[in-house]
Amino acid sequence: MYWLKRAVYKIGRESRTAGKRLAWRIFYGKRFSMGKDWKIRKNTEIELTGRGRISIGDGMITRSGVSILVDGGDLRVGDHVFFNHGVSITCLKEISIGCGCKIGNNVVIVDHDHDYRGSLEDMVSSPVFIGNRVWIGANAVITRGVSIGQGSVIGAGSVVTGDIPPYCVAAGVPARVIRYITEGCGESESCGESESCGSRRGDLQACLPGLQPAERKERRDIGCVEDRR
């Protein structure tokens, strides 16, 4: 009976994923693009408003309660990204997440703040860039205007308010570098998640869908590529 239950569960999950993808594609049209081999759990919500755009690569996995809101901004997610329970992403300007990232329970990623100097109804926005193969621990908060370099780890409960270099462990409030990761970060190391990804260290552009080379600027100090408009 166990194998029968697992088969029924798998069929139900795949049907739910296919139904959500189809509905999002029909409703949002060309502003919403997606790869293949997604695995989406119940209560995963994607909302696209204004002139916003969403581009997601292959193999995305979500647990229950994931919420993604793009209100006039541009969200790009690379291949094989995992979002655990309760992840919340709100994009008003620009958020880029590289290939192979693991996002822990209840992580919040935002590219904006309320303007406390004026009316709290006004927003201040700055792009957020997360490199390939970044692991963000549970309950961390990624604030506007930050870049996290490839291969880095953000400790659980951290608040990231400034740039984090590649291949390091950062934690705290605000997050600070605790140590650097010296193994497995050779210059020729690929993303390791997909043959089609083609991403190399310091090359976020090669991984993310919809990122135009002519529009990007490389920041060598954080080990990722930015797309500034």
d(CA 55, CA 118): 33
Question: Phi, psi (5° rounding) for residue 170?
Answer: -125, 140
Compute and round to an integer the Cα radius of gyration of the chain. 17
- Tokens 């999950």 belong to residue: 13
Provide the 3-class DSSP secondary structure of residue 46: strand
Query: Which residue in 80, 85, 112, 114 is the catalytic one?
Result: 114
Please list the alpha-helical segments (H only) found in the chain.
Answer: 2-28
- For the stretch 82-93, pLDDT in tens is 999 999 999 999
Asked if residue 59 lies in contact with residue 37, where contact means CB atoms within 8 angstroms, the answer is yes
pTM attached to this predicted model: 0.75
Band of the pLDDT at 17, cuts 50, 70, 90?
low
Domains and CATH numbers, the chain: 2-227 (2.160.10.10)
Higher pLDDT, 120 or 195: 120
Tokens of 227: 């797309």
Whether 114 sits among the annotated catalytic residues: the reply is yes
pLDDT, tens digit, for every residue of 65-124?
A: 999 999 999 999 999 999 999 999 999 999 999 999 999 999 999 999 987 777 767 789
CB contact at 8 A, 224 and 147 = yes
